[in-house]
Amino acid sequence: MASEPLPIALDAMGGDHAPLEIVAGAVLAVRELGLPVVLVGQPRVLYEALSAHDATAEIPIVRAEEMLSMDEGALASLRRPRSSIAVACHLLRRGDAAAVVSAGSTAGVVATGKLRLRAQHGVLRPAIAVALPTLPHPTILVDAGANADVKPEMLVQFAHLGAAYVEASLDVKNPRVGLLTIGTEPEKGNKLAKRAHELLESSPGLDFAGNIEGHDLLTGKVDVIVTDGFTGNIALKTMEGSVRYAFGQLRETVAESRVAKFGGLLQRPRLRELYRRLDPEAHGGAVLLGLNGTVVIAHGSSRARGIASACELAARLATGKIVTKVGERVGTIPRSHRLW
């Protein structure tokens, strides 16, 4: 008897549009992508929402009466051990789910994930990885915000976390790793980046391509971009804001000058596709790497399509054995590159 694949545990109560859009996303994931999903949250509300899709028989519900609100952070996750995200993590930990997906507040999901799943053996600090919309395949940015203050040795670990992500989900061998700093020469950067450059350069098992700068974020020059969570978060949000601004200004300018019905122009399939690719709210989401289990953090404003993408990413990472790959990689880090 072939065993059923494990389901994605989907936090139905996290996100700006929870629970209705989360439930709709679960229905999409099950019906269009063929992924098994369990919804975690308040049974009455979820049953009603599933009924509207005629999906009560397809998607099981796991009870969690409490939840973290979008403006709650790390402390709330300690106070509410039975929140929907905590219960989702619990399912993963006891082997009843393949991965967790939540569109809840990043701080809350990170804190709960770390508390309930714990860091993998050998991982100093779990980190957030985000896929930047480069072609032909995404570039993985690590850390996008989990660790504001880090040591150089942690950046070596982030490089391995990102490389494992690439190997598990993108079918790229020996991912090239770049260090985000302020000049291409090895000695350019702050103290952290300079020391990290030395460590990365002498790290076995890493294809280190050297320093990259802010304007390389979207050029696809490397497969993995390593940085601390402070810089990474600012770079990511700057990129998102700048792309949004450029499109917005363009649309406004065309509207004002009555050059063309640019609104109409943007409806064309290829332009819509471009716009969606560059829209941060449309992709799968951030991944919390380095835990004993895969946790995908969907954008807080995700609607059904974004939730389904996040489930797909979570399933792909779980199938690609991301946790095993991370474990193998951090196991190869030599003593000289560790903090202990």
Residue 102: name the closest of 238, 296, 256 by CA. Answer: 296
Only segment of 19-27, 120-128, 174-182, 315-323 that touches its own copies (CB under 8 A): 174-182
**Closest CB to its own copies among residues 33, 182:** 182
Count of CB atoms within 10 A of residue 228's CB? 26
Q: Which of 51, 202, 253, 332 binds its own copies (CB under 8 A)?
A: 253
Residues 6+ apart with CB under 8 A from 158: 127, 142, 143, 226, 227
Alpha carbons 94 and 109: distance in angstroms, whole number: 18
Contact between 54 and its own copies (CB under 8 A)? no
What is residue 215's DSSP assignment?
Answer: G
Contact between 247 and its own copies (CB under 8 A)? yes
Contact between 136 and its own copies (CB under 8 A)? no
CA 294, distance to chain mean position in Å, is 10
Contact between 244 and its own copies (CB under 8 A)? yes
Binding mask 109-128 for its own copies (x = CB under 8 A): --------------------
> Is the torsion defined by CA of 168, 169, 171, 177 positive or negative?
negative
Contact between 236 and its own copies (CB under 8 A)? yes
Only segment of 6-14, 24-32, 52-60, 142-150 that touches its own copies (CB under 8 A): 142-150
Alpha carbons 65 and 50: distance in angstroms, whole number: 17
Residue 26: name the closest of 101, 109, 108 by CA. Answer: 101
Contact between 268 and its own copies (CB under 8 A)? yes
Query: Is the bond leading into 228 cis (omega within 30 degrees of zero)?
Result: no
Contact between 259 and its own copies (CB under 8 A)? yes
Contact between 276 and its own copies (CB under 8 A)? no
Beta bridge partners of 294: 99
CB of 176 to its own copies, least distance (A): 18
Contact between 69 and its own copies (CB under 8 A)? no
Take residue 88 and report the two structure tokens written for it.
């989702």
Point out which residues bind its own copies (CB under 8 A).
145, 148-149, 180-182, 189-191, 193, 213-219, 228-231, 233-247, 249-250, 253-254, 256-257, 259-260, 265, 268-271, 273-274, 278
